[in-house]
Amino acid sequence: MKTYQQINDRIESGKAVVLTADEIIGYVEKKGLAAAAEEVDVVTTATFGPMCSSGCVLNFGHSKPKIRMSEAWVEDVLVYTGLAAVDVYLGATQLRHADPANMYHPGEFRYGGGHVIEDLVAGKTLQLFALSYGTDCYPRREIRTYFTIEDLNQATMVNPRNCYQNYNVAINDSDKTIYTYMGLLEPNRRNANYCSAGQLSPLLNDPYYETIGMGTKVWLAGAHGHVYAEGTQHAGAVARTPAGVPKGGAGTLALTADMKQMRPEVVRGVSLLGYGVSLALGIGIPIPVLNEQILKRTCVRDRDILAPVVDYGTDYPQNTGRVIGHVNYEQLRSGRIKVEGKDVAVGSLSSYCKALETANLLADEIRAGDFQLARPIASLAKENKMKPLVIRQKEP
C-alpha cells in the first residue's frame, strides 16, 4: 500500500520506479504481484489516434481600435465566436471554408480544424479574418492579420471527449464501399478497421476508474494537463469481462492543457477520405501503484481485451445496436481476424508505435522528477448509461 504523497516524494527525489503498461506485464510475471506492487510506483499508459471531440480556446488580445468578433476564420476555417470579444473556440472537425466536402464523393478533406491546430502547435504563421457588427465599445467591423501561437494570450486545448476506453471494430456488410470515420471499408467484409492502443490504453488499465478521475494529471501531447470532467458519452455501465474490462466504448475523458507546451509530432491533423477532418493526439496517463489490485489491472493483455465487431454499412448508421461478435486485440494486431468464420484483413487508425513512444516519454519525465501525480478530486461515474436522442413531436 502506497499513498499519492509517498509516490510523489519518490518522484521528487528521482527514485521513482516507473514502467510502461507494456513493460509491466512481463515484470509482474517475473517478480510476482506482491513484490512488484512494493517496488513499482507508477505505470504509464498512452494512446495515439484521431480524437474528433477536440479543440481549443484562443484569446487574441485586442487590436486598436477594438473588435468584438462575431464571425471569424483561422486559415479559412470557421471558429466559434459566441464567447467574449476576442475569445474563440476552434474545433478539430470544422471544414475549411468552400471545401467541397462530399460533393464530389468521396471528398478528400485535405485541410480543416485539426490541421489548423497542428500548424498552430508547430509554430506556423496563420491568418485570422474576423467580422463584426460594431458596437460603441468595440467599433471595428473587420480585421485581417497574421499570428503565431506565441502572439496569443492563451491557447488552451479543451477536449470534451478523448481516450475512449475501448472501441468498435468497423466492418462493412453492405455490397458497396463505404467511407467512414473508421476509414474506408470495402464491401462484403473484405476489410476491417480498429482504433485503440489496447493493453497500453489509459482506461483499459484502470477499468473501474480508481485512479483516473476528475483532476488526474495527464500528459496531453507533451503538455502537463488534467482531466477536467467526465468525457461526453461517458458510460460506465457496460458489459464487462470477468476481469472488469469493458467489451465496448464505455468511459471517456475530457482533457485540457496549455497548447504552448505541446509537441508538434503528437498533434496531427487527420484527413479521412469521404468523411472529414479530425485531430490525432498523443496522450499519456500515469497510474499510481497504490495497491496490488490497481497493479493487477494494469497487467491487462491484448488477448484479454475484447472489441465488438460492428457493421458500418447498416447497423451503425441506423443505430440498431447489433454486434456481430467480439475479437481481441492480439488478433487485431496480428493484422487478420476471423468474423463468423471469414478471414478478414484488419488495419488500425490509432498508432501503437506512437502510443508506445508517448508512454516512454511520460515514464522518462516521471523518472527525472519532472512530472508529479495528482489525486483525483472526484471519480468518474460507473453506473451511468448512454442515452439515445429521441425524436419527439412538440406537445400541443
Among 189, 226, 234, 268, binds other proteins (CB under 8 A): 268
Give the contact letters, 201-240, x = binds to other proteins (CB under 8 A), - = no: ----------------------------------------
Asked whether position 169 contacts other proteins by CB under 8 A, the answer is no
Asked whether position 183 contacts other proteins by CB under 8 A, the answer is yes
Is there a contact between 354 and 221 (Cβ–Cβ < 8 Å)? no
Report the DSSP beta bridge partners of residue 268.
280
Asked whether position 113 contacts other proteins by CB under 8 A, the answer is no
**CA–CA separation, 359 and 21 (whole Å):** 8
Q: Which stretch binds other proteins (CB under 8 A): 5-13, 232-240, 352-360, 378-386?
A: 352-360
Among 70, 135, 154, 271, binds other proteins (CB under 8 A): 271
Asked whether position 349 contacts other proteins by CB under 8 A, the answer is yes
Cell 488526474, residue located: 216
Is there a contact between 125 and 29 (Cβ–Cβ < 8 Å)? no
Cβ proximity to other proteins: between 49 and 248 the closer is 49
At its nearest, how many Å lie between other proteins and the CB of residue 168?
15
**CA–CA separation, 165 and 234 (whole Å):** 9
Ranges within 281-340 binding other proteins (CB under 8 A): 333, 335
Is there a contact between 349 and 50 (Cβ–Cβ < 8 Å)? yes
Asked whether position 256 contacts other proteins by CB under 8 A, the answer is no
Give the burial class of 23: count Cβ atoms within 10 A of its Cβ; 0-12 exposed, 13-18 middle, 19 or more buried.
middle
Among 79, 170, 270, 299, binds other proteins (CB under 8 A): 270
Please tell me which residue in 52, 137, 195, 353 is annotated as part of the active site: 137
Cβ proximity to other proteins: between 138 and 179 the closer is 179
Among 20, 193, 201, 216, binds other proteins (CB under 8 A): 193
Is there a contact between 24 and 15 (Cβ–Cβ < 8 Å)? no
Q: Which stretch binds other proteins (CB under 8 A): 46-54, 134-142, 153-161, 291-299?
A: 46-54
Q: Which helix (H) or strand (E) holds 171?
A: strand 169-171
Asked whether position 170 contacts other proteins by CB under 8 A, the answer is no
Q: Which stretch binds other proteins (CB under 8 A): 7-15, 94-102, 123-131, 342-350?
A: 342-350
Asked whether position 191 contacts other proteins by CB under 8 A, the answer is yes
Q: How far apart are the first and last CA of the chain?
A: 61
* Cβ density class 164-190: b for 16+ within 10 Å, e for less: bbbbbbbbbbeeeebbbbbbbbeeebe
Asked whether position 350 contacts other proteins by CB under 8 A, the answer is yes
| DSSP letter for each residue of 334-363 | TTEEEETTEEEEEEESS-HHHHHHHHHHHH
Asked whether position 345 contacts other proteins by CB under 8 A, the answer is yes
Q: Which helix (H) or strand (E) holds 159?
A: strand 154-162
137 is catalytic: yes
In the complex, the residues that contact other proteins under the rule CB under 8 A are: 48-50, 110, 183-184, 191, 193, 268-273, 278, 280, 333, 335, 345-354, 356
Catalytically annotated residues: 137
